[in-house]
Every structure is written in structure tokens, then in C-alpha cells.
Amino acid sequence: MSSLAGLLGQPFLRYAFIAGAVIAAASGLTGYFVVLRSQVFTGDALSHVAFTGALAALAAGANLLIGLYGACIVVALAMAALGYRGQADDTVIGSVFAWILGLGALFLSIYTRSTSNGTSGVNVLFGTIFGLSATQAVTDSVVAACVCAGLILIARPLLFATIDESVASARRVPVRAIGTVFLGLVGVTAAAATQAVGALLLLGLLAAPAGAAQRLTARPFRGLWLSAAIAIFSVWTGLVISYAAPKIPPSFGILAVATGVYLIAIAFTANTNGRRA
Amino acid sequence: MTGSTVTGLSWNVVADLRQLMQFPFMVNALRAGTIVAVAAGALGWFMVLRRQSFAGHTLAIVSFPGAAGAILAGLSAITGYFAASVGAGLVIAAVPRSLGGRARSSESAIIGTVQAFALACGALFVSLYGGFLNGLTGLLFGSFLGISASQVLALLIVAAAALAVLALIARPLFFATVDPDVAAARGVPVRLLGAVFLVLLGCAAAEVSQITGALLVFALLVMPAATAQQITARPVVSFALTIGLGLVTVWLGLTAAYFSIYPVGFFITTFGFAGYVLAGAWRAFLWTRRRPAAAVPA
């Protein structure tokens, strides 16, 4: 108990725990629908965009947050607008995002050349949750809390639109608008989570808790809350692991716990699935 | 970054080429790039045809923790690249088509989790090794500096072996790709061919990783093949075109990176993507020209 008090006595850890929990809740909630709607590769794409956006802003001398949020939201909305008529196949997505990542490499080299700040690219890729300042922690928490609130607000119609699109639109659910709002929320989540776990790893925070929750329960709202809970558990446990063993980067701890929970969920449900099928 | 004798690009092609070739490291880089482009083109062509782009993406990403882990363990990065990518190819081939028989959404969640976890392992190895940030950027985004002659030889041997196996299985593999059911009925071992192909793809991904870095492998695997398959539907022509496009992309990328201060990964992805966009525009152009002719019978 005293060690826990010591853990929370340090301001940087307090910020990491609070901001991490809110960001994890947002990732778990949006991730549940991302997996349900088979938009995991949209999440993958957004993580590439987050990296390039952040480094473009740094290379241009602007605030990292502007590039991060700007790029993620714009690209998410663009994908919502384009992706509706016919799913783009993975060759197109792969080509576009390999190039976007190449652009990110360019901005990285411009930025690290113009200043002596060589670690920023690595920070964007793999996250700096222990390096959050008070203002960053507050900003990220508020943004992520807004995402949670927005998602809970549209959860029912979104679920309806996801499960049976044509019946939903026949019942006058604005399917298209809800899909667009949802992708915008995913974009905001990706931007917020980039600070915590990094651009390359946020896909894991979107996919793993949601995948585990969908294995454990078939009931949508229970799964939604479970997904958020697993995400928060992963972040907190990962942070504790990383605090106890400083050599382990927090991103790895978080992802390792999330992956472990997913593996346990698969192992746990493999039998019942086999019997049912 | 480049030597003091480099004066920059001029319109004199011969002088430019001589400048390009004056350092052994650049000659090695061009040799390695050529080998990698041929292997990536050949395997990438089948990959695009078989719609296994995301398997290729995963194999490529796995090479990053492989290389970082090998460096941490005191081995050469090249060992790690091949061990991780080929191993991952075997694992993907061994996993049954759909784990547990759930829907596609569950499967993509698994792929996403595996990729993110592989990258997290890479981050862990780098952190455990401590402070090779420049090396990290190289592993992720590629570097053509410091490729030794023995590395070129290793690349050549692996590429030659992979291409020889591919040549042996090319016809049945093509059959199994285009129509798996009929091929299986005719006694073609579809499953085995798929596994062999994934291992070969792992070899190609590991080779490309050493030039473009783990994150940009996809560019060289998918872009030339996607471009060529947009231009022509005839298998042999588009196969040859894929390899040609791959070679041009790599050579241009290496040359541009040599004469500028920016990373090679950026140039290779940009040239590859430009080719893809041009081919798409060309096809759209042909399409709009053909349509009125078809609509109005002459």
C-alpha cells in the first residue's frame, strides 16, 4: 500500500495514470466499434497518418498537437467521405499508407537535421506517457473524455447502423452521418493515444481489448464496457510494470498486457466455440 | 553525409554516373538494391495477385523486432531479419484459415494486435540495448550506408535460392492462385504451395527491410506489382513489368538519396507511389476514351 502511495506521489506518474486511463477508455470504446465494423485497417491507416502529421508539424516549427489532431481528423473524415462507395481494396490502402509513412520519414529527417532534437521521432512512434506535462495531461484527458461522451451518446444508433445498415436507414437512422462522426472520433482517439502509446502501437490499444471483449461476450453493451475496462486495466498494469522495471518502455508493458488478455480470452473461449460450432 | 568530392547533380549523365560509382559503399548499395528489387518484384507480384498484402505487411513489420533482438543478442541484424520474417511466414502458414472459425472482424483484430505487439517488442529490445537512436531510425526507415560486400553476397544467395524455388513452383502456384478449387481438384497441393510461398515472401520481406527499413518494405513489395497489374492483365508481361518497375524505383531512389540529404525510404516510396498514381491515371484516361467509342456504334 505504501508503495502504491509512493507510485502516485510522483506527479509524472499521476499524470500518466489519469491521462492514460481516460485515453484507454476512449480507445477501448471506439476500438469496440472499430472491430465490430471491420475497420481495423482504417485504424492502422490513421496510426500512419498520426506519425506523419505530428512530424510535419514539428518540421514546420508548429505545435505537435496541431499536426497530430489536424492530420488524424482530416484523414478520418476524408476516408469516411471516400470509403462509402465500395470498400477500397488493401492494395490501394497499402500503397497510399506506405507513401504517407515515407513522407513521415522525410519530415523526420528534416526535423532532426534542423534541430538537435533527435529523439522526437522515436517519441512519436513509441509514445512518451511518462513525459506528459501537466497541461498535456489535462488536454489529453479532456479530449479523450469528450470522445467517450460523444461515443456513448451515439452508441445506440451506431450499433443499429453497424449491425443492420439497411433496416437502420429504413428506420430513419442517419447511417452515413453517424459513420462519419464515428470515424472523426476514431481520428481524435488516434491523435490522443499517439502521445500515450505512440503512433505505431495505438492499433494494438484499439484492436486487442475490443477483440478480447468480443470473444468474451456476445452482448454488445456489456462488450463495450468490458472493452473499455480491459483497455484501462492494460494501461495501468503496463504502467506499473514499466515503473517497477525501468528498462521496459511503458508502451511495451501496455501492449504486452493487452495482448496477454486477448490471448487468454482466445484460450478461454476456444473450447466453448468448438462445442457450439 | 556524402563525401566532399560530390558536386551535385548535373545534366552530364556520364559524369553523374561516375560520381555515383566513385565510392564502394554506393556500388554495394546499388548491387544490393538491384538484388532486392528483383526478389521483391517477383514475390510481390504473386502477393498482390493472391491478395495477401496484409500478410506481407505483417512479415515486414516482424523483421524490425527480429533485427533489434538479434543486435541485442550480439548477432548480426541480417540474421534477425531472416529468422524473424521466415519464422513469421511459417507461423502464418501454420495457423488455420480462420482461428476459431469466427467472423472476419475477429481475424483482423488478431492481425492488428500481432503487428502492434511485434512493434512493441522491437521498442523493448531497442530500449534494453540502450541508445542506438540512429540505428533505430535505420531499422525503421532504411539506410543504404554501410552495406558490406559480404552482405551483398548473402542477399544474392538468398534471393537466388528464393527465385529458384519460385521458378520451380511458379506454374502450379499461379494455377492455385487463380482458381484454388479447380487446382485442388486437379491434384495441385494448394495448401503446401501457399506455405512455401509465405516462406519465400518472408525471405523477400527480410531482404527489402535492409534497404528500406521495416516500415517501408511494403512500398517495394506492393507498389511495382500493383502498378504493373493496372497496366496489363497478361501475366507474363505484367510480371516482367513489375521487376522492371521495381528496378527503376530502387535505382532512382538510391540515386536521389545519394545526391540529397533526405532518407532513401522517402524517395523509394515516392517514386513507387508516383508510378502507381500515373498508371491509375493512364488507365482512367484509356477508360474515358474507350467509353464513347463503345457507346456510339460507328
Bin B51: left if φ > 0, else alpha if -120 < ψ < 50, else beta. left
- pLDDT tens for A61-76 read 878 888 888 888 888 8
CB of B41 within 8 A of CB of B225?
A: yes
What was the pLDDT predicted at A271? 65
- Closest chain A CA to residue B50: A91
- For residue A102, what is its C-alpha cell? 515515407
A128 vs B164, higher pLDDT: B164
What was the pLDDT predicted at B246? 92
What was the pLDDT predicted at A246? 79
- pLDDT tens for A186-212 read 999 988 888 777 887 888 888 899 989
Average pLDDT of A114-130?
Answer: 68
Which among A95, A126, A272 is the top mutation candidate for probing chain B, defined by the most B β-carbons within 10 Å of its own β-carbon?
A95
Average pLDDT score, chain A: 82
In a domain, B260, yes or no: yes
Instruction: Give me the CATH number covering residue B167.
Output: 1.10.3470.10
Q: Does A190 touch chain B if contact means CB atoms closer than 8 Å?
A: no
Amino acid identity, position A214: Q
Percentage of residues in chain B with pLDDT exceeding 90? 17
- Closest chain B CA to residue A109: B262
B/e letters for B53-74, b = 16+ CB within 10 Å, e = fewer, are bbbbbbbbbbbbbbbbbbbbee
Count of CB atoms situated within 10 Å of the CB of A258: 34
3-state helix, strand, coil in chain A (%, to 5): 85, 0, 15
- For residue A172, what is its C-alpha cell? 430513419
What was the pLDDT predicted at B104? 54
CA distances from B282 to B227, B243, B273, B287 (A): 11, 20, 14, 9
Average pLDDT of B149-168?
Answer: 90
- pLDDT tens for B159-209 read 999 999 999 999 899 888 888 888 888 888 888 888 899 999 999 888 888
pLDDT at A94 over 70: yes
What was the pLDDT predicted at B147? 78
Helix axes B53-72, B77-94, angle to 10 degrees: 140
Beta strands (DSSP E) in chain B are none
In a domain, B13, yes or no: no
Domains and CATH numbers, chain A: 2-268 (1.10.3470.10)
- Closest chain B CA to residue A270: B100
Helix axes A220-244, A134-163, angle to 10 degrees: 150
Q: Does A120 touch chain B if contact means CB atoms closer than 8 Å?
A: no
What was the pLDDT predicted at A146? 93
How far, in Å, CA of A79 to CA of B66, rounded?
33
Q: Does A118 touch chain B if contact means CB atoms closer than 8 Å?
A: yes
- pLDDT tens for A155-188 read 888 888 888 888 888 888 888 888 888 988 999 9
Q: Which of A187-191, B23-27, B177-181, B210-214 has the highest mean pLDDT?
A: A187-191
Distance from CA of A232 to the nearest CA of B (A): 16
Which among B53, B95, B117, B126 is the top mutation candidate for probing chain A, defined by the most A β-carbons within 10 Å of its own β-carbon?
B117
When pLDDT is cut at 50, 70 and 90, the band that residue A272 belongs to is low
What was the pLDDT predicted at B106? 64
What was the pLDDT predicted at A88? 52
Contacts of B268 in chain A (CB under 8 A): 102
Average pLDDT of A214-221?
Answer: 86
When pLDDT is cut at 50, 70 and 90, the band that residue A85 belongs to is very low
pLDDT at B1 over 60: no
How far, in Å, CA of A113 to CA of A224, rounded?
44
In a domain, B285, yes or no: yes
Average pLDDT of A139-147?
Answer: 89
Average pLDDT score, chain B: 81
How far, in Å, CA of A46 to CA of A135, rounded?
25
- pLDDT tens for B87-117 read 888 887 776 554 444 445 566 777 788 888 8
3-state SS, B35-94, equals HHHHHHHHHHHHHHHCCCHHHHHHHHHHHHHHHHHHHHCCCCHHHHHHHHHHHHHHHHHH
What was the pLDDT predicted at A83? 60
B127 vs B28, higher pLDDT: B28
In a domain, B1, yes or no: no
- Closest chain B CA to residue A102: B266
CB of A168 within 8 A of CB of A160?
A: yes
What was the pLDDT predicted at A268? 82
Average pLDDT of A38-50?
Answer: 81
How far, in Å, CA of B139 to CA of A239, rounded?
26
Helix axes B190-212, B53-72, angle to 10 degrees: 60
How far, in Å, CA of B257 to CA of B1, rounded?
10
- pLDDT tens for B248-285 read 999 999 888 888 888 888 898 899 999 988 988 888 88
CA B203-B205-B210 angle, to 5 degrees, is 100
How far, in Å, CA of A90 to CA of A39, rounded?
12
What was the pLDDT predicted at A29? 93
pLDDT at A243 over 90: no
In a domain, B11, yes or no: no
Q: Do B226 and A118 touch (CB under 8 A)?
A: no
In a domain, B275, yes or no: yes
Name the one residue in this structure whose C-alpha cell is 451515439.
A154
Which among B264, B269, B271 is the top mutation candidate for probing chain A, defined by the most A β-carbons within 10 Å of its own β-carbon?
B269
In a domain, B125, yes or no: yes
Give how many domains chain B has, as a whole number: 1
CA distances from A214 to A232, A269, B35, B170, B237 (A): 16, 10, 45, 40, 46
Q: Do A202 and B263 touch (CB under 8 A)?
A: no
Q: Do B120 and A256 touch (CB under 8 A)?
A: yes
- pLDDT tens for A20-38 read 899 999 999 999 998 888 7
How far, in Å, CA of B68 to CA of B65, rounded?
5
Structural domain including B129 reads 23-295
pLDDT at B244 over 90: yes
Q: Do B121 and A105 touch (CB under 8 A)?
A: no
B272 vs A273, higher pLDDT: B272
What was the pLDDT predicted at B9? 65
